[in-house]
Amino acid sequence: MKIASLLPSATEIVCALGLEENLIGITHECDYPPTVAGKPHLTASRISHETMSSAEIDHAVRSQLDGHGSIYDLNTDLLAEFKPDLIITQELCDVCAVSYKTVERAARMYVAGARIVSLEPNTIEDIFANIKTVGELCGVSEKAEEVVMNLRERLERLREKSAGAETRPKVFMLEWLEPPFVPGHWVPEQVEAAGGICLLGEAGKKSVTTTYEKIVESAPDCLVLIPCGYYAADILRQLPNTIFPESFREIPAVKNGEVWALDATAYFSRPAPRVIDGAEILAKIAHPEIFGAPSEREAIRVSEDLLKFSRRVSN
């Protein structure tokens, strides 16, 4: 079976199922496992994370989507040349990947015989179901069951261990720097499994914009920076261009040095097996007395002198 993955998360799932050799094309963002690096790219982005600030990216995305455009291009020539049997895409978010309508239209025109499957996870359980779906479509259901069983066991062990903590810190997961976004989908579940209390966000719901003022009022004990699509190094590069209100200095997390930058792309943005890794890293941040402190490879503590403040109160 020839598989075209139009989602980084789908690429990770396909590879976790032992089907890397079946991947004939991936997205420009697919970078895990590292061995997929040489695969042909079927997509390209019209927006640069490297050269634009988070505020500029947000404006560009809204401008494109409000005009019913797209921030991605699909290489239909390659799609026609490779003639995949299975195309994996999504309808959940036009910011995350090429839109489903674009893929459906291209498939109808260039690869009429291809089967299109749309993955729409909103929770961790949905992610497990997606893994099983891909396994079934690709004829490796037994392997998919094995992968899900392993992930479920790790998640349950984490929950059981964190349940023994004396306290549960209040955690705010900042899903975008400017404007600020509250966490949604599976991220609140990751926080709860790690032994924390997820502030403002709701499991299974969309991530939505909020105000800096509401974040201050929520008084998080821990502030975790996970802007969608960013690695920790990207976050540190963006911080000089991000101005937080002066009131942020009074947040317990800022005062106590509990501001962290994590690889959002690897552990939170993509609904793939590594969301469990993300929950395990959060547990080390929330409860180092139980799980041990995270390594610098897992999480970077952001010192207050890396944060910029102004007198404004809300976004």
SS3 182: strand
The mean per-residue pLDDT over the stretch 176-185 comes to 94
- What's the confidence (pLDDT) of residue 1? 93
| Ranges 68-77, 136-145, 169-178, 237-246: which has the least confidence | 68-77
Do the beta carbons of residue 4 and residue 87 sit within 8 Å?
A: yes
User: Do 195 and 107 fall into the same domain?
Assistant: no
pTM of the model: 0.91
Mean pLDDT of the chain: 89
215 and 115 share one domain: no
Burial class (CB in 10 A: 0-12, 13-18, 19+), 35: exposed
Distance CA 136, CA 266 (A): 25
Angle at 207 between CA 205 and CA 211, to 5 degrees: 125
Cα–Cα distance for residue pair 227/264, rounded to 1 Å: 6
Report if residue 302 sits inside a domain. Answer: yes
Q: Do the domain assignments include residue 174?
A: yes
* Rounded average pLDDT over 14-24: 98
Residue that is last in its domain, among 94, 129, 144? 144
For the residues 101-128, what does the mean pLDDT come to? 82
Q: Comparing 91 with 123, which gets the higher pLDDT?
A: 123
**Mind listing the pLDDT tens digit for each residue in 218-234?**
999 999 999 988 999 99
For residue 138, is it within any domain?
A: yes
Domain shared by 120 and 247, yes or no: no
**What average pLDDT does this structure show over 32-46?**
92
Residues 133 and 187 in one domain: no
109: confidence class by pLDDT, cuts 50, 70, 90: low
* CB 201 within 8 Å of CB 182: yes
Return the bridge partners of 117, or none.
88
pLDDT for 34 beyond 90: yes
Q: Are residues 130 and 171 in the same domain?
A: no
Q: At which of 111, 144, 177 does a domain end? A: 144
Higher per-residue confidence, 39 vs 98: 39
- % of the chain exceeding 70 in pLDDT: 84
More confident residue, 208 or 54: 208
Residues 73 and 188 in one domain: no
The count of structural domains within the chain is 2
Q: Which of the listed residues 144, 177, 200 is the one where a domain comes to its end? A: 144
Specify the pairing of strand 170-174 against strand 115-118: unpaired
Residue 315 counted as domain residue:
no
271 and 188 in one domain?
Answer: yes
Arithmetic mean of pLDDT, 150-172: 97
Whether residues 134 and 186 fall in one domain: no
pLDDT given for residue 31 in this prediction: 96
pLDDT at 154 over 70: yes
The mean pLDDT value for 106-129 works out to 86
What's the CA dihedral at 112, 95, 175, 206 to 10 degrees? -70
**Residues across the chain:** 315
Structure tokens at 312: 């404004």
Residue 307: both structure tokens together: 């944060």
Alpha-carbon dihedral 136, 274, 179, 309, rounded to 10 degrees:
180
Residue 152 lies in a domain: no
Residue 103: CATH number of its domain: 3.40.50.1980
Residue 64 lies in a domain: yes
Average pLDDT over residues 291-298: 97
Strands 43-45 and 72-74: antiparallel
Q: How confident is the model at residue 82 (pLDDT cuts 50, 70, 90)?
A: very high
Whether residues 140 and 194 share a domain: the answer is no
* Res 313: pLDDT: 47
| Residue 72's pLDDT band (cuts 50, 70, 90) | confident
Do 205 and 295 lie in one domain? The reply is: yes
Boundaries of domain holding 106? 3-144
> Is the per-residue pLDDT at 211 higher than 90?
yes
Same-domain check for residues 81 and 183: no
Burial class (CB in 10 A: 0-12, 13-18, 19+), 100: middle
Q: What is the average pLDDT across 143-171?
A: 97
Give 68's pLDDT tier (boundaries 50, 70, 90): very low
Residue 180 placed within a domain: yes
The H or E element containing residue 74 is strand 72-74
Q: Are residues 178 and 138 in the same domain?
A: no
Whether 150 maps to a domain, the answer reads no
